[in-house]
Structure 1
Amino acid sequence: MKHKDQVLTNKEQKAILIRLLSYAKNHTKTLLFAFFLLVLATVAELIGPILIKIFIDDYLTPREFPFEPLLWLGIIYVVLHLSSVFINYFQAFLFQTISLKIVQELRVDVFSNVEKQGLAFFDRTPAGALISRITNDTESIKEFYLTVLANFVQNILFLVGIFIAMFYLNATLALFCLVLLPIIFGLMQVYRKISSRLYADMSEKLSLLNSKMNETIQGMAIVQMFRQESRLRKEFSDVNEEHLESGMKTMKLDGLLLRPAIDLISILALILILSFFGFRSFIGPVEIGVLYAFVNYLDRFFEPVNQMMMRLSLFQQAIVSGGRVFKLMDHEELAPVQKGNDSPKINNGEIEFKNVSFSYDGETDVLKNISFSVKQGETIALVGHTGSGKSSIINVLMRFYPLDRGEVLIDGKPLDTYANRELRENVGLVLQDPFLYTGTIASNIRLYREHLTDTQVKEAAEFVRANEFIEKLPNAYQAEVTERGSTLSSGQRQLLSFARTIATNPKILILDEATANVDTETEEAIQDALKRMQKGRTTIAIAHRLSTIKDADQILVLHKGEVVERGNHLELLERKGLYHKMYLLQKGSDLERV
């Protein structure tokens, strides 16, 4: 998915607006009630000037002040004003409640779709850009529902009411005032056309800011170790400057086409009305009450227009953000899923690769005609230099990426016929860099699989000897784990990942250089745990240290995506090929360290 956003056409903006409004269909009843209250409040506000017009023309001008009619006129005016205040409060509360619920639904929909994407999508999409869309862009959409939509509906309804009142007072002058509508509408269209491009650019710069910030924070240890603070600060400052420039352009546009332009139109309209009544005064008497009501309505007419114009920037931001969010929601690069209606079960965990070829980009094969089989309880090790295809075999077996050519079988059944749940529950994966979540030790082992009891969690920890350090922590299994488990050693994090994996008792065990980043003492504990974990399970191990896979039933030596050697440890040493060279190099390195 391309990171750069394109300027939206009018047709695209309209489609986005319709889609945003479609989220309101689940709240139809509440919306209708809110609209009903809005109509009542609008009517109450619009009747006020008419009551004052009646007072001026029927009582003040002829200097007649009967007590009872004036009392009722005053009571009605006060009641209408108070009613308008209370009704406006409740209708605004309802609109905002609906708005918050809609944005909540939208965020869940966006996040749910992101979770469904395959790993190929995350390989190409910066994490900061995704975070920006799920947080910043949905926040802009929230403003659309909270501030823009309710305001536009209320003010449009108010404008319609004003014109009805104007026609009631003087149809000729009301027709003159209608000329203002196409002028204002044209101004809005010009603003939207220009601001669409500016806000798209500003949103893109914000995504770049988030991406740069996320990347820097995630790699802070490297940044500080290689003294890259100044360089990254400058890069961040440059992107921030570009974001500022984009924001300044929008501010200049708002300053020119929003309130100042409307104020100019309102002055021209006031001149029109006063001129009309001025010429009328040469012909005959002018009703002061009607003049007051028209001027009052004109003032009330431009106030909602000003409010709508001032919120056009928020509206345009929301449309741009909506386009970015819906683009993410519509993106389909989904993780491979089950094919067919059969639901086979993994009983033995036997694995077979048949002439498997695979490419990440669709052009360059990283695996070429890979074939091997592993029986239940056997261990197969994958060795080779960086880029030889070891991790790609794991990615294919875990069904993280779609298979290009060839076939992968588990217990004699094609990999793609297994349900995702069956596959994930019976294939345990331990990575070189285990990922821990904020929470507790117990929750990281359980991973919210509620069927796992506290006893099972503790048994899993004991099985891999993780209990030895867990029980020394304050609160033991309820000890807090910080983000990515930064307060634990690499060995402790790895032991927790072992416990997490063994807790579900998988039939197949995949070890991706599980001992590469741990100290010698912890490695001994892990190796001891591994032997017990592998017993009776089909195991595929990516090995960095060849000394850890001497007992493997079969070793595949990979080079540039192909299997160049296969056999057990002794057989491969006797051939004196690539494995033999790798072994001698590592053995020499080990002797140098000693």
Structure 2
Amino acid sequence: MKAEKTEKKIVDYQILKRLFGFLLPYKSKFTLLVFLIIIGALLAPALPLMIQTTIDGPIASGNYGQLALYLGIMVLILVLNSVVSYYNTYEAGWLSQQIIHDIRQQVFQKIIHLKLKYYDQTPIGKLVTRTISDVESLSEVFSSGFAAIAGDFLQLILIISVMFYLDWKLTLISISTIPLLLISTYVFKEKVKKSFNQVRNAVANLNSFVQERISGMSLIQIFNVQKQEFDKFNSLNLEHRNANIKSILYYSVYFPVADVISALGVGLIVWYGAQGLINHEVSYGTITAFIMFINQFFRPIRMIADRINTLQMGVVSVSRIIEILDDQENIEPELVEKREIKGEVAFKNVWFAYIEEQWVLKNLSFEAKIGESVAFVGATGAGKTSIISLLNGFYAINRGEILVDGQNINKWNLENLRSQIGVVLQDVFLFKGSIAENLRMGDQKITDEMIVNAAKEVGVHEFICRLPGQYAYEVMERGATISMGQRQLLSFVRVLLQNPKIIILDEATSSIDSESEELIQNAIEKLMKNRTSIVIAHRLSTIQKADKIILLEKGQIMEVGTHQKLLTMNGLYTKLYEIQFEKAL
């Protein structure tokens, strides 16, 4: 919506102000670029002026000594113009790449600190487009946008000033076709702006679609819907193609029209100049210079139209980027003082909904004392995993409060808090990289020796040693070359290395076979010793030793107690236990 509002404006000064803000760290480079552009603009009318002087001077008079001097000056102008053009192009490119590097850094820095709620509502492909495509489009804005447009305007002013100086009548004849060019330029600018915006939207849709389908490729192949998904992709791809073809069409029409208008201007010069020659009112050199001037004059006008479109598309891209950079609603709270936690957790009358009024947790209250293990059981959708997300501060609760060591979670430094909460999820995510890198998770304080000792404690060392390269073994994206059970064993090592004060196990043994489960039980007990632990499990056999078991149903606590106590109550927990016991038999 914001992008649409921006599109309606020819120039959005607030966004232009932000664009200039990105230039501030490189003021000296930008100043140099402006200086080079001014020099280039000053050199533009110099060559036609020298040709006019040469034709009407030494060539007309037959002074060949003076002709050699003038030719030398023209060569010098050409060389100087080439040198200025080289440095102009290089400095503009260097500046644009530095700035988009900085912007991309800022965007990704912001993205990794956004709340998970933002990702629930935003397709990943659109974020990829913002970080890659939209930022990349700014390259042209800084390399051939601001300064280049100013240079083109300056060149126009200088050229028309020299033209009026040489012959004001011939100048008026020359620029009589400008209204036609301005009209065609305006129509072109509006059409291309709209088509470029359609291209941007089509790219974002393609990115979102491809990312989602690649992530769910196994599901597509299991249900044999490759043809249906290809048809959907083909539809989006056609939209992208058609949007690009529209922009190509506008370019293919505009530039020939501009060339015809330019040629018309040259024709008028020749027609009027011929009469002037006959009447001895115009010189040969002046007509030659004006033919060169008319080409130099029309070229910046055409370039300005294209560059203004580039600038406008940059404004659209920046508006999308700024929307992310300025998002304060979904950003993590300001960092507060860091401190060590002891591990006491309490939920007091907590109400929570991902979507307003569709409650996932209803008036939830429980307490986990330091070193105590609390287990949650219940059907899928009961709200068990939401408790973990709330404790980590991924979402804000609607009512009530969550306390850690008696302090509201809002008063904790979330980065500091999360570093002391170890989480083992059911679906373990491994990044592309070595086993050691995935276990270390960027913490360079963790030595190789610590990694090996933790792996031995969990019982996964022998498995790692059988891999090619052992701890240097390269894990494929999402850990595709390692079984789910092995990934979960590695996640235990990862948490053990973190040495957290609070342990969270979210269905941590659901994908591990009986042999592997026995292997990690001792490691889990060591991990949970003297630490507060919150366990979510479908297998009741894994939580029988918990100090407290809480049975949830539709976001509410139905039963609380130890395993033995809950069995004596003969309630929902007992029924759940009997069902699992019968299945085990």
- Asked whether the two chains share a fold, i.e. TM above 0.5, the reply is yes
Matching residue of 1:556 = 550
Aligned CA-pair RMSD: 2.3
Matching residue of 1:385 = 379
2:397 to 399, 403, 407: 403
Matching residue of 1:42 = 41
Matching residue of 2:62 = 64
Give the letter for the 1:474 counterpart. P
Matching residue of 2:21 = 22
Matching residue of 1:294 = 290
Give the 3 Å change call, closer, same or farther, for CA 11–55 of structure 1 in structure 2: closer
Matching residue of 2:431 = 437
Matching residue of 1:124 = 121
Per-residue CA deviations over 1:185-235 (Å, capped at 9, x if unaligned) read: 444433333333322222112111111111111111111111121111111
Matching residue of 1:111 = 108
| Number of corresponding residues | 585
SS of alignment partner, residue 467 of structure 2: coil
8 A contact 1:92–1:150 mirrored in 2: no
SS of alignment partner, residue 539 of structure 1: strand
Aligned-partner Cα distance in 2 for 1:390–1:254: 57
- 1:460 equivalent to 2:454? Answer yes
Q: TM-score, normalised by structure 1?
A: 0.93
Tell me the CA shift for residue 546 of structure 1.
1.1
8 A contact 1:432–1:517 mirrored in 2: yes
Matching residue of 2:201 = 204
Per-residue CA deviations over 1:284-306 (Å, capped at 9, x if unaligned) read: 43211111111111012223333
8 A contact 1:390–1:558 mirrored in 2: yes
Q: Bigger shift: 104-113 or 451-460?
A: 451-460
Aligned-partner Cα distance in 2 for 1:335–1:299: 53
1:120-159 equivalent positions in 2, closer than 5 A: 120-149=117-146, 151-159=148-156
Give the 3 Å change call, closer, same or farther, for CA 335–573 of structure 1 in structure 2: farther
Q: TM-score, normalised by structure 2?
A: 0.94
Give the 3 Å change call, closer, same or farther, for CA 97–233 of structure 1 in structure 2: same
Give the 3 Å change call, closer, same or farther, for CA 179–15 of structure 1 in structure 2: farther
8 A contact 1:429–1:510 mirrored in 2: yes
Tell me the CA shift for residue 183 of structure 1.
5.1
Aligned-partner Cα distance in 2 for 1:581–1:156: 82
8 A contact 2:360–2:554 mirrored in 1: yes
Give the letter for the 2:18 counterpart. R
Give the 3 Å change call, closer, same or farther, for CA 275–22 of structure 1 in structure 2: farther
8 A contact 2:419–2:498 mirrored in 1: yes
- 1:324 equivalent to 2:320? Answer yes
Matching residue of 1:219 = 216
Give the 3 Å change call, closer, same or farther, for CA 4–241 of structure 1 in structure 2: farther
Give the 3 Å change call, closer, same or farther, for CA 197–45 of structure 1 in structure 2: closer
SS of alignment partner, residue 112 of structure 2: helix
Give the letter for the 2:149 counterpart. F
Tell me the CA shift for residue 146 of structure 1.
3.1
SS of alignment partner, residue 373 of structure 1: strand
Give the letter for the 1:363 counterpart. E
Q: Bigger shift: 92-101 or 191-200?
A: 191-200
Matching residue of 2:471 = 477
Give the letter for the 2:449 counterpart. T
Aligned-partner Cα distance in 2 for 1:542–1:4: 43
Give the 3 Å change call, closer, same or farther, for CA 333–192 of structure 1 in structure 2: farther
8 A contact 1:117–1:334 mirrored in 2: yes
Structure 1 stretches lacking a partner, 5+ long: none
Aligned-partner Cα distance in 1 for 2:126–2:276: 63
8 A contact 1:259–1:310 mirrored in 2: no
Matching residue of 1:373 = 367
Matching residue of 2:484 = 490
SS of alignment partner, residue 503 of structure 1: helix
8 A contact 2:350–2:361 mirrored in 1: yes
8 A contact 2:6–2:319 mirrored in 1: no
Give the 3 Å change call, closer, same or farther, for CA 351–208 of structure 1 in structure 2: same
Per-residue CA deviations over 1:437-484 (Å, capped at 9, x if unaligned) read: 111111111111122222222222222222121122222222211111
Matching residue of 2:527 = 533
Per-residue CA deviations over 1:364-402 (Å, capped at 9, x if unaligned) read: 221111111111221100111111110111111111111
Aligned-partner Cα distance in 1 for 2:279–2:524: 105
- 1:515 equivalent to 2:494? Answer no
8 A contact 1:212–1:236 mirrored in 2: yes
8 A contact 1:344–1:413 mirrored in 2: no
Aligned-partner Cα distance in 2 for 1:335–1:317: 27
Give the 3 Å change call, closer, same or farther, for CA 319–189 of structure 1 in structure 2: farther
Aligned-partner Cα distance in 1 for 2:156–2:542: 79
Give the letter for the 2:36 counterpart. L
Q: Bigger shift: 299-308 or 372-381?
A: 299-308
Give the letter for the 1:345 counterpart. E
SS of alignment partner, residue 540 of structure 1: strand
Give the 3 Å change call, closer, same or farther, for CA 120–31 of structure 1 in structure 2: same
Aligned-partner Cα distance in 2 for 1:363–1:432: 28
Tell me the CA shift for residue 312 of structure 1.
5.2
1:259 to 248, 251, 255: 255
Give the letter for the 1:329 counterpart. L
Aligned-partner Cα distance in 2 for 1:450–1:3: 42
Per-residue CA deviations over 1:342-385 (Å, capped at 9, x if unaligned) read: 65531x20111111111112222211111111112211001111
8 A contact 2:26–2:95 mirrored in 1: yes
8 A contact 1:510–1:539 mirrored in 2: yes
Tell me the CA shift for residue 275 of structure 1.
4.1
Aligned-partner Cα distance in 2 for 1:548–1:505: 22
2:191 to 191, 194, 204: 194
Q: Bigger shift: 137-146 or 401-410?
A: 137-146
Matching residue of 1:566 = 560
Matching residue of 1:345 = 340
8 A contact 1:427–1:507 mirrored in 2: yes
Aligned-partner Cα distance in 1 for 2:154–2:514: 75
SS of alignment partner, residue 221 of structure 1: helix
Per-residue CA deviations over 1:260-316 (Å, capped at 9, x if unaligned) read: 331232133224333443454565432111111111110122233334445555444
1:243-258 equivalent positions in 2, closer than 5 A: 243-256=240-253, 258=254
Aligned-partner Cα distance in 1 for 2:584–2:144: 67
Tell me the CA shift for residue 184 of structure 1.
4.1
Give the letter for the 1:40 counterpart. I
SS of alignment partner, residue 237 of structure 2: helix
Give the letter for the 1:214 counterpart. Q
Give the letter for the 1:270 counterpart. V
Aligned-partner Cα distance in 2 for 1:24–1:392: 43
Aligned-partner Cα distance in 2 for 1:19–1:139: 17
Q: Bigger shift: 456-465 or 403-412?
A: 456-465
Q: Bigger shift: 374-383 or 241-250?
A: 241-250
Give the 3 Å change call, closer, same or farther, for CA 188–333 of structure 1 in structure 2: farther
Aligned-partner Cα distance in 2 for 1:197–1:439: 42
Give the letter for the 2:199 counterpart. M
8 A contact 1:338–1:420 mirrored in 2: no
Aligned-partner Cα distance in 1 for 2:2–2:343: 41
Aligned-partner Cα distance in 2 for 1:150–1:422: 45
1:306 to 302, 309, 314: 302
Give the 3 Å change call, closer, same or farther, for CA 344–18 of structure 1 in structure 2: closer
Aligned-partner Cα distance in 1 for 2:441–2:86: 45
Q: Bigger shift: 21-30 or 441-450?
A: 21-30
Aligned-partner Cα distance in 2 for 1:37–1:278: 38
Aligned-partner Cα distance in 1 for 2:70–2:163: 21
Structure 2 stretches lacking a partner, 5+ long: none
SS of alignment partner, residue 552 of structure 2: strand
SS of alignment partner, residue 400 of structure 1: coil
8 A contact 2:277–2:284 mirrored in 1: no
Tell me the CA shift for residue 130 of structure 1.
0.9
Matching residue of 1:98 = 95
